[in-house]
Amino acid sequence: MMISTAKVEWLFAYIRVMIKFSLFWAVLSLFMLLTSSCNKDTSVRSRSSTTASEAAAMGTDPNISMCSQINSRGSAFINKTSMDDVFAIAIDPIQSKRFDGMVKITGGKYDIGGVARSDVPEEAQGSQPRQDEFPKSAVEVSDFWMDETEVTNGQFKQFVDATGYITTAERDISLEEIMAQLPPGTPPPDPSLLKAASLVFKSPSPNQQGQYGVQDWWEIKTGASWRQPLGDGTDIKGKENLPVVHISWYDAMAYARWAGKRLPTEAEWEYAAHGGEFDKIFPWGNELKEDQAQANFWQGNFPVENKVTDGFERLAPVKSFAPNGHGLYDMAGNVWEWCSDWYHANYYACLSAQETATDPSGPEVSYDPYMPAASQKIIRGGSFLCNDSYCAGYRIAARMKSSPDTGLEHTGFRCVRDL
């Protein structure tokens, strides 16, 4: 039985936390619960205003600002120790003045959000929008500079060598901090399970049922970090041009501070991904062809068969595929990219309530109806694991989220800078 995309995302978010503790019984029970449930209707519409009846259905009051209501429901947990480490980083006087490897993006207006199903061209496989991509909303962004590629191993090593920074994946897990992010009543793990580790992809063996859950393709590996992407005994020698991975939001923030940059807002990221052409579903156009190398994503039967049509089983060196109209590489596939915004499932309703939202920086809190206790930041762009049968994250409008302290083998970032 297929699981709805939203439920898969909810389980994925929960499993990222639970698997750190090896509470596998909890993962299995949740997975069984979700697979036995019926899929909910996920139909979406093109841009429209929110009516009073719709507001009532959402549990909102049409007499109160939509943005105020959205910001009143959710959480915004920030690890103080991690943020202190970020602000302890000194801004490098040389790096902060460098613009090589960056592209100037001339700002403008556009409609942020997904393409309604009725407007999806027949050739655009894997383009199914999700509810949190609507309603489409008018947004205007100012001019900014953006890294032309995802931050690489070589660039991140330069940062670590200069600052001595230790990433989240390289630190033992704090019991107090992790329990604060879990639902009340969650049993604490054995202290021996709180050692530094991260999640690495593994392709499961095919089974007769053809059913798989996220617990089948993620494996916790001690020692896995940006230095050892596949766990103890691996390294990044000769892989300086691969995007750095196992990066948490805090790690990305620390690097950005050192470089005199910042993380992009979700609105900036989507604007840049369009490459100046706002009628496209993917950075390259509207056609998704698995037999052509358009980006680094999964071709074949995910998660058991990767045809490697694009030439890369896992990560690809940056600039391996053609850039978009702005000269930006890998705005689809390769690794998910952190944005500065909190994730809120209903945030676009806030944007839609404004005639034009200028340089929006996201909601004040995070809210995911499938994981309401979690605080999650936006990630964009998809990864080498995205496939149209599971996660069409390589669509320009596709939104995903992750807790700020989470780093995985397919998560990295790029930075921006104000003019």
Residues 6+ positions from 105 with CB-CB distance below 8 Å: 143, 144, 145, 146, 268, 271, 272, 326
Q: What is the Cα–Cα distance from 390 to 385, expressed in whole angstroms?
A: 9
The pLDDT of residue 24 is above 70: no
**Confidence band (pLDDT; 50, 70, 90) for 381?**
very high
Instruction: Answer whether residue 183 is part of any domain.
Output: yes
pLDDT for 209: 67
Find the range with the poorest average confidence among 210-219, 239-248, 362-371: 210-219
Instruction: Answer whether residue 184 is part of any domain.
Output: yes
The pLDDT of residue 244 is above 90: yes
Range of the domain at 56: 45-418
Instruction: Compute the radius of gyration of the chain from its Cα atoms.
Output: 20
The pLDDT of residue 31 is above 70: no
Per-residue pLDDT tens over the stretch 341-353: 999 999 999 999 9
Instruction: Answer whether residue 23 is part of any domain.
Output: no
Q: 310-337 burial string, b = 16+ CB within 10 Å, else e?
A: bebebbbbbebbebbebebbbbbbbbbb
The count of structural domains within the chain is 1
Question: Three-class SS of residue 333?
Answer: strand
Residues 6+ positions from 30 with CB-CB distance below 8 Å: 11, 14, 15
More confident residue, 172 or 258: 258
- If you average pLDDT over each of 34-48, 53-67, 102-116, which comes out highest? 102-116
Asked if 255 contacts 159 with a C-beta cutoff of 8 angstroms, the reply is yes
pLDDT for 16: 46
Instruction: Answer whether residue 404 is part of any domain.
Output: yes
Mean pLDDT of the 42-71 span: 53
Mean pLDDT of the 215-221 span: 88
Cα separation values, 208 from 32, 197, 212, Å:
17, 32, 11
Asked if 159 contacts 184 with a C-beta cutoff of 8 angstroms, the reply is no
Instruction: Answer whether residue 19 is part of any domain.
Output: no
Only one residue has tokens 């496209």, namely 280
From edge to edge, which strands make up the β-sheet containing 416-418?
102-105, 144-147, 416-418
Asked if 401 contacts 126 with a C-beta cutoff of 8 angstroms, the reply is no
Instruction: Answer whether residue 25 is part of any domain.
Output: no
Instruction: Answer whether residue 259 is part of any domain.
Output: yes
Average pLDDT over the chain reads: 84
Q: What is the Cα–Cα distance from 117 to 120, expressed in whole angstroms?
A: 5
Instruction: Answer whether residue 248 is part of any domain.
Output: yes
| CATH assignment of the domain containing 391 | 3.90.1580.10
Q: 390-418 burial string, b = 16+ CB within 10 Å, else e?
A: bbbbbbbbbbbbbbbbbbbbbbbbbbbbe
